[in-house]
């Protein structure tokens, strides 16, 4: 099994002056294979290259060549994705749809000393709730197809996080309305994300992204509430944001203003455990001393439990949805979605209810 | 670099400049990195570096850009800011987002989308004997049709450190560079462009440079010229002149040594053709 030390050497490459463990001997074939697969799967081949070049990880020449080939392949994908981003940016600009680029291309340019370290596998765009449906229609009119249907027309624009669209070249755009699904998606008004912006320059085009503290908070939220176990790239993004000069107190203030303090604290703890260092003493102390309310704890559990508690996520979502009419619409859309949505997922309303009950039962057993 | 006081030096960035105010340690670092840019008497922009290596502050024209960061972040940001100053600074010239090197008195302009490997190819050509003009901005003088040097420090990414060890920065400086080396190279003189190269690292497998349509290359160069509208017809004509007189090719750069050899051969044959024509 891949040692935690080796993983830490890769994920902290360039962040620490010293390295640990006996890493002078080249990795064995088995160790290297596992490390290589980890780097590819977690999209951190750039960090593995950096770790090798900074002598944090010892490999043979053929192993190094393999890593560089894989990283170059990732860079080609990123280049194609950025080319698509420029096209979509032009499309949205012509339709006067205000957008912000999120994650990969944004953090790579705002935070990383060399953007080629931070590779990514899709493009994430944020648009205002009112623009979400027109933006989706525009993508579809230009050859994109929506990966999954929504429970009812207008659901995503009102309640959802967003949806994935696959382009003619099989490259993907995630069109966001907010950061996450469920209760933390209702924790703040997504239009607040548009209040402050800054640009990244791709080729010669200026593209708007979130403010630096918000980008850092988004990385934390992505790490805390996204895949299990947490992805490594957004954890590293947090460190890079601090290294690039984002003030820790601005991250705390932004997280508090967006009611996202607990997920950010949780991400900081994961980052500390995974990388073995803290990104800032101030943030570490804040996260260690943070005491979540019962409601926050329950909301976070619904995202982070071993078997994600979808039923609880939905229930938390209901309680977080503002206004009775919205709550009813939210419940109705999830309890009795359109036939096309059912056909894609559960087949029928009865099967859907059966599945919901089974998830709920399993969730109770676990708790 | 010109000493205005013991701890203030000014560096010319195309038609603009910056004066650096810091302690001697920082002066040594920054002036070494920008050693290939000419000195000047006054600085239009005012850069101040304060604090220790683990807790540094960078102030540009009175605005704090970075605070509480490590030394490498200061270096990265200053190189970036210098480029931004350059982009805003040359009203008499057409600025194209491209790298330029000189081979046997002829210019090779390397352009392409972000991340395609312009700097890397320029670095490889310089290591192989080409003269350096820029790895970021081609400064085109519409009056003469030549490209002038903007010798910002050459950028070498960590994955290429092994290949470019021969130009590695000194250790005392490299330890303040975390993921990118900034290497000052003495600039070559202004050159006319005779070859326009679009690097392609997507392993095309093409043995020979692929000749490109000039119209297509002109359109692509326009897209790499952010202030084209400001330059007006004159700017477009300057780009058209370059493309009309140059060989325009795409070259597979998956093997840098082979790509460099192809470019040297191409420049040599272009030179011969021109001489024959004359």
Please give the distance of CA B19 from its chain centroid, rounded to a whole number: 21
Whether B159 and A49 lie within 8 Å, measured CB to CB? yes
Residue partners of A61: CB distance under 8 A and separation at least 6: none
Both A183 and A226 in a single domain?
no
Whether A202 and B116 lie within 8 Å, measured CB to CB? no
With contacts defined as CB-CB under 8 Å, which chain A residues touch B165? Answer: none
Euclidean distance between CA atoms A168 and A144, whole angstroms = 6
pLDDT, tens digit (0-9, with 9 covering 90-100), for B16-40: 999 999 999 999 999 999 999 999 9
Q: Best of B50, B54, B114 to disrupt the A interface by mutation (most A CBs within 10 Å)?
A: B114
Both A365 and A273 in a single domain?
no
Residue A70 lies in a domain: no
Nearest to B115 among A14, A78, A247 (CB): A78
Residue A65 lies in a domain: no
Q: Best of A51, A110, A204 to disrupt the B interface by mutation (most B CBs within 10 Å)?
A: A204
With contacts defined as CB-CB under 8 Å, which chain A residues touch B178? Answer: 14, 113
Q: Strands of chain B (E only): list them.
A: 2-5, 8-13, 16-21, 45-52, 55-60, 63-69, 94-103, 106-111, 131-134, 137-140, 146-148, 154-157, 180-183, 191-200, 210-211, 247-252
What is the residue whose two structure tokens read 């040097």? Answer: B149
pLDDT of residue B1: 45
pLDDT of residue B273: 60
- Count, residues in chain B: 278
pLDDT at B277 over 70: no
Residue partners of B30: CB distance under 8 A and separation at least 6: B20, B22, B49, B75, B78
Per-10-residue mean pLDDT of chain A, 367 residues long, equals 81 75 68 92 93 85 89 89 94 96 95 91 95 95 88 77 91 93 83 90 89 95 89 94 92 94 95 89 93 88 69 66 75 74 70 71 62
Both A42 and A84 in a single domain?
no
What domain count does chain A have?
Answer: 4
Residue of B nearest to A65 (CA): B159
CB B150 within 8 A of CB A44: no
Euclidean distance between CA atoms A265 and A280, whole angstroms = 12
With contacts defined as CB-CB under 8 Å, which chain A residues touch B118? Answer: none
Q: Which domain range does residue A235 map to?
A: 212-304
Euclidean distance between CA atoms B167 and B153, whole angstroms = 12
With contacts defined as CB-CB under 8 Å, which chain A residues touch B70? Answer: 243
Rounded alpha-carbon distances, angstroms, from residue B235 to B95, B142, B231: 9, 7, 5
Residue of A nearest to B137 (CA): A204
Both A120 and A55 in a single domain?
no
Nearest to A79 among B65, B72, B116 (CB): B116
**What's the mean pLDDT in B191-207?**
83
pLDDT of residue B2: 45
Residue A252 lies in a domain: yes
Residue A264 lies in a domain: yes
Whether B162 and A245 lie within 8 Å, measured CB to CB? no
Euclidean distance between CA atoms A44 and A240, whole angstroms = 14
Both A39 and A141 in a single domain?
no
Looking at chain B, the whole-number percentage of residues with pLDDT higher than 90 is: 68
Min Cα–Cα distance to chain B from A36, Å? 16
User: Burial code of B113-136, b = ≥16 C-beta within 10 A, e = fewer?
Assistant: bbbbbbbbbbbbbbbbebbbbbbb
Whether A53 and B202 lie within 8 Å, measured CB to CB? no
Q: Considering only CB atoms, which residues of chain B are within 8 Å of chain A?
A: 65-70, 72-73, 76-77, 97, 113-116, 157-159, 161-162, 178-180, 201-202, 223-226, 254
CB A120 within 8 A of CB A207: no
CB A318 within 8 A of CB A330: yes
Whether B68 and A247 lie within 8 Å, measured CB to CB? yes
Rounded alpha-carbon distances, angstroms, from residue B268 to A77, B140, B174, B278: 34, 23, 36, 15
Both A229 and A252 in a single domain?
yes
Q: Which two tokens stand for residue B30?
A: 């920054």
DSSP A238: H
Euclidean distance between CA atoms A20 and A139, whole angstroms = 48
- Say if the ipTM goes beyond 0.85: no
- Count, residues in chain A: 367
Q: Which two tokens stand for residue B18?
A: 């910056």
pLDDT grade for B276, boundaries at 50, 70 and 90: low
User: Burial code of B225-250, b = ≥16 C-beta within 10 A, e = fewer?
Assistant: bbebeebeeebbebbbebbeebbbbb
Q: Considering only CB atoms, which residues of chain A are within 8 Å of chain B?
A: 14, 46, 49-50, 53-54, 64, 68, 71-72, 75-76, 78-79, 82-83, 112-117, 202-204, 243-245, 247
pLDDT at B6 over 60: no
CB A319 within 8 A of CB A134: no
Residue A50 lies in a domain: yes
pLDDT of residue A23: 58
Both A319 and A285 in a single domain?
no
**Inter-chain contacts counted by CB atoms under 8 A, chains A and B:** 75
Rg (CA), chain A: 21
pLDDT, tens digit (0-9, with 9 covering 90-100), for B130-148: 999 999 999 999 999 999 9
pLDDT grade for B3, boundaries at 50, 70 and 90: very low
Residue A319 lies in a domain: yes
**Strand-pair partners of B10:** B2, B19
Q: Which two tokens stand for residue B106?
A: 């002829």
Q: Which two tokens stand for residue A357?
A: 């009950």
Nearest to B224 among A64, A83, A203 (CB): A203
With contacts defined as CB-CB under 8 Å, which chain B residues touch A245? Answer: 65-69, 73, 77
Euclidean distance between CA atoms A10 and A4, whole angstroms = 10
Both A205 and A243 in a single domain?
no
DSSP string, B10-70: EEEETTEEEEEE--HHHHHHHHHHTTTSPB-S--SEEEEEEEETTEEEEEETTEEEEEEE-
Both A199 and A88 in a single domain?
yes
CB A255 within 8 A of CB A222: no
Min Cα–Cα distance to chain A from B206, Å? 18
pLDDT of residue A147: 85
Residue A74 lies in a domain: no
With contacts defined as CB-CB under 8 Å, which chain A residues touch B77? Answer: 245
pLDDT of residue B4: 45
Whether B158 and A75 lie within 8 Å, measured CB to CB? no
pTM: 0.81
pLDDT of residue A306: 62
Residue A316 lies in a domain: yes
Both A204 and A147 in a single domain?
yes
CB A172 within 8 A of CB A166: yes
Q: Which two tokens stand for residue B32?
A: 């070494």
What is the residue whose two structure tokens read 């490209």? Answer: B147
CA A143, A146, A150, A156 dihedral sign is negative
Domains of chain B plus CATH, in order, are 2-87 (no CATH), 94-151+186-277 (3.90.228.20)
Euclidean distance between CA atoms A48 and A118, whole angstroms = 11
Both A150 and A255 in a single domain?
no
With contacts defined as CB-CB under 8 Å, which chain A residues touch B72? Answer: 113
Both A324 and A257 in a single domain?
no
């Amino acid at each position: 099994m891949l040692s935690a030390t080796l993983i830490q050497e890769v994920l902290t490459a360039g962040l620490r002056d010293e390295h640990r463990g006996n890493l002078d001997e080249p990795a064995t074939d088995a160790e290297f294979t596992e490390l290589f697969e980890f780097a590819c799967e977690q999209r951190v081949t750039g960090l593995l290259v950096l770790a090798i070049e900074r002598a944090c990880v010892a490999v043979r020449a053929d192993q190094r060549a393999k890593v560089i080939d894989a990283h170059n392949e990732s860079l080609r994908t990123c280049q194609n994705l950025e080319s698509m981003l420029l096209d979509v940016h032009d499309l949205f600009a012509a339709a006067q749809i205000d957008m912000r680029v999120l994650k990969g291309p944004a953090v790579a340019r705002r935070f990383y000393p060399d953007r080629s370290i931070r590779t990514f596998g899709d493009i994430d765009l944020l648009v205002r709730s009112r623009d979400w449906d027109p933006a989706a229609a525009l993508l579809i009119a230009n050859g994109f197809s929506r990966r999954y249907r929504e429970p009812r027309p207008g659901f995503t624009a009102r309640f959802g996080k967003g949806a994935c669209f696959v382009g003619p070249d099989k490259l993907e755009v995630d069109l966001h309305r907010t950061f996450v699904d469920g209760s933390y998606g209702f924790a703040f008004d997504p239009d607040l994300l548009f209040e402050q912006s800054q640009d990244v320059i791709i080729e010669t085009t200026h593209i708007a992204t979130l403010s630096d503290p918000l980008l850092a908070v988004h990385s934390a939220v992505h790490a805390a509430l996204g895949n299990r176990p947490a992805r490594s790239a957004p954890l590293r993004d947090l460190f890079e944001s601090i290294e690039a000069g984002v003030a820790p107190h601005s991250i705390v203030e932004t997280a508090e203003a967006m009611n996202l303090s607990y997920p950010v604290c949780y991400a900081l703890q994961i980052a500390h455990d995974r990388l073995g260092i803290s990104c800032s003493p101030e943030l570490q102390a804040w996260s260690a001393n943070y005491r979540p309310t019962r409601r926050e704890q329950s909301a976070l559990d619904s995202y982070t439990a071993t078997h994600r508690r979808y039923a609880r996520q939905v229930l938390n979502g209901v309680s977080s949805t503002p206004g009775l009419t919205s709550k009813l619409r939210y419940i109705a859309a999830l309890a009795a979605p359109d036939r096309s949505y059912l056909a894609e997922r559960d087949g029928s309303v009865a099967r859907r209810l059966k599945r919901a009950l089974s998830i709920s039962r399993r969730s109770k057993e676990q708790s | 670099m010109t000493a205005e006081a013991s701890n203030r030096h000014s560096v010319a960035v195309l038609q603009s400049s910056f004066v650096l105010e810091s302690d001697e340690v920082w002066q040594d670092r920054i002036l070494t990195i920008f050693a290939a840019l000419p000195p000047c008497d006054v600085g239009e922009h005012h850069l101040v570096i304060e604090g220790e290596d683990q807790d540094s502050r960078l102030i540009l024209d009175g605005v704090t850009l970075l605070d509480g960061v490590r030394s490498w972040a200061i270096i990265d940001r200053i190189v970036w800011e210098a480029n931004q100053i350059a982009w805003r600074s040359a009203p008499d010239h057409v600025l194209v987002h491209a790298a330029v090197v000189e081979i046997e008195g002829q210019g090779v302009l390397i352009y392409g989308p972000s991340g395609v490997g312009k700097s890397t190819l320029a670095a490889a050509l310089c290591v192989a004997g080409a003269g350096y003009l820029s790895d970021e901005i081609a400064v085109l003088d519409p009056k003469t049709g030549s490209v002038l040097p903007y010798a910002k420090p050459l950028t070498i990414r960590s994955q290429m450190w092994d290949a470019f060890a021969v130009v590695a920065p000194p250790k005392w400086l490299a330890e303040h560079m975390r993921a990118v080396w900034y290497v000052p190279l003495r600039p070559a003189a202004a050159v006319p462009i005779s070859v326009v190269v679009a690097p392609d690292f997507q392993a095309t497998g093409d043995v020979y440079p692929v000749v490109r349509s000039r119209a297509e290359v002109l359109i692509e160069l326009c897209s790499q010229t952010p202030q084209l509208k400001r330059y007006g017809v004159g700017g477009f004509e300057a780009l058209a002149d370059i493309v009309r007189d140059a060989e325009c090719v795409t070259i597979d750069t998956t093997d840098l040594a082979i790509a460099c050899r192809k470019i040297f051969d191409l420049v040599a044959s272009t030179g011969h053709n021109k001489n024959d024509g004359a």
